[in-house]
């Protein structure tokens, strides 16, 4: 049977690569955390990675906006149009189309009516973490996208249930694939709103302490209003983390890095979950 | 009034990776906008755009140059 061999979460921000000279000391410390995450990922020898990420209104607009979507393409752009801005060369990364289609079908059977896309273009959501964690661009990526940016958003409780379901799906696959899960996004940040650039280290620490203590399910009880108030509109991306936490319930997270980086406009965390 | 067309203006520019300081009337032909929305776009009034329902990620992307970081 297939097996889950790694689970982790990291923040993403365009300025991690777009402004490489900014905040050199914090940058070095955070990227050291990602380097350790990469070392552990490589050691886990995954055959594919399920990435829990969010669109930033580049693939999905208000004319057709899914709460959850699975990317079933055989390749994904990461990045394409955002390459010059992110200072990451355009590249196509391999998808996991067969797994994606199986997940789509299993979801429909289980009551998770995921939307589907055969053609996704990623921004910092996938491109920046993949640049640091999977620079070779050879590991197939199965993206699961959650609407975290255009309210009303799916509830954190639903993202927990989705993560539980995807863990069951992985465990039920008949092959011998080794599967990693990576969530990106969060922690606190305020973007494009009147107090853009604000970060709440207090909320970030509460999120990280909750995960480190093995109480990740408490995050599933948060409301949109609580997250918006304490973690900002960017904090809504914590839904991606919640799905991975649901796949490894009760596990105590190990914080590999935390830096509230003003120049990245984001409270940045990187957490490893022992599978 | 829906904020759909206001967001459409910003999305269309974001898709083309066009940044702006403001978006004047000559660039808004064909968009169904209120006078208040047109004024906020022409002035590049980011807080007003947010109040009118513009998606903050689109505000940030299109008006990126207006931010210090």
3-state secondary structure B27-45: HCCCCCCCHHHHHHHHHCC
Q: What is the DSSP letter of A154?
A: P
Instruction: For residues B10 and A243, give the distance between their C-alpha atoms in angstroms, rounded to a whole number.
Output: 30
Torsion of CA A18, A235, A133, A86, to 10 degrees: -20
Residue of B nearest to A60 (CA): B11
Q: Residue A158: which of A170, A172, A174, A146 has the closest Cα?
A: A146
Instruction: For residues A159 and A86, give the distance between their C-alpha atoms in angstroms, rounded to a whole number.
Output: 28
Are A179 and A49 a contacting pair, CB within 8 Å? yes
Yes or no, beta carbons of A149 and B55 under 8 Å apart: yes
Specify whether domain A3-273 bears CATH 3.40.830.10: yes
Are A271 and A204 a contacting pair, CB within 8 Å? no
**N-term to C-term CA, chain A:** 16
Q: Where are the domains of chain A?
A: 3-273
- Calculate how close chain B gets to A59, using CA atoms only, in Å: 9
Cis omega (within 30 of 0) on the bond before A79?
yes
Total residues found in chain B within this entry: 69
pTM of this prediction exceeds 0.90: yes
Yes or no, beta carbons of B15 and A233 under 8 Å apart: no
Q: What is the pLDDT along chain A (275 residues), one digit of tens a residue?
A: 999 999 999 999 999 999 999 999 999 999 999 999 999 999 999 999 999 999 999 999 999 999 999 999 999 999 999 999 999 999 999 999 999 999 999 999 999 999 999 999 999 999 999 999 999 999 999 999 999 999 999 999 999 999 999 999 999 999 999 999 999 999 999 999 999 999 999 999 999 999 999 999 999 999 999 999 999 999 999 999 999 999 999 999 999 999 999 999 999 999 999 99
Instruction: For residues B39 and B66, give the distance between their C-alpha atoms in angstroms, rounded to a whole number.
Output: 17
Contacts of B57 in chain A (CB under 8 A): 56-57, 149, 191-192
- In B13-32, the residues whose Cβ lies within 8 Å of chain A are 14-15, 17
Interface with A, mutate which of B8, B11, B57, B61 (most A CBs under 10 A): B57
Interface with B, mutate which of A18, A19, A21, A196 (most B CBs under 10 A): A196
Q: What is the ipTM of this complex?
A: 0.95
Residues whose CB is less than 8 angstroms from the CB of residue A14 and which lie 6 or more positions away in sequence, other chains included: A82, A85, A86, A123, A124, A128
């Amino acid at each position: 049977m297939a097996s889950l061999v790694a689970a982790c979460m990291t923040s993403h921000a365009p300025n991690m690569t777009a402004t490489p000279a900014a905040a050199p000391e914090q940058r070095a410390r955070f990227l050291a955390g990602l380097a350790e995450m990469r070392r552990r990922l490589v050691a886990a020898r995954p055959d594919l990675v399920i990435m829990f990420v969010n669109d930033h209104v580049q693939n999905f607009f208000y004319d057709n906006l899914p709460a959850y979507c699975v990317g079933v393409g055989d390749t994904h752009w990461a990045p394409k149009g955002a390459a010059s801005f992110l200072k990451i060369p355009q590249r196509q990364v391999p998808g996991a189309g067969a797994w994606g289609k199986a997940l789509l079908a299993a979801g429909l059977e289980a009551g998770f009516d995921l939307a589907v896309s055969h053609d996704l273009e990623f921004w910092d959501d996938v491109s920046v973490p993949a640049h640091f964690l999977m620079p070779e661009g050879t590991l197939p990526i199965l993206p699961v996208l959650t609407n975290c940016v255009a309210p009303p958003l799916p509830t954190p409780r639903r993202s927990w249930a989705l993560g539980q379901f995807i863990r069951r799906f992985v465990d039920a696959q008949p092959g011998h694939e080794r599967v990693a899960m990576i969530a990106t996004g969060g922690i606190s940040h305020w973007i494009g709103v009147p107090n853009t650039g604000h970060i709440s280290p207090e909320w970030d620490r509460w999120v990280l302490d909750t995960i480190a203590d093995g109480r990740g399910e408490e995050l599933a009880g948060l409301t949109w209003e609580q997250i918006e108030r304490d973690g900002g509109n960017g904090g809504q991306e914590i839904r991606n983390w919640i799905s991975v936490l649901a796949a490894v319930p009760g596990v105590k997270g190990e914080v590999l890095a935390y830096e509230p980086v003003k120049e990245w406009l984001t409270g940045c965390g990187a957490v490893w979950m022992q599978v | 009034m829906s904020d759909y067309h206001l967001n459409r203006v910003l999305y269309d520019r974001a898709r083309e990776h066009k940044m702006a300081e403001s978006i004047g009337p000559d660039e808004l032909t064909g968009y169904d906008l209120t006078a208040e929305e047109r004024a906020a776009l022409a002035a590049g009034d980011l807080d007003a755009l947010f109040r009118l329902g513009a998606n903050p990620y689109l505000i940030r992307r299109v008006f990126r140059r207006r931010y210090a970081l």
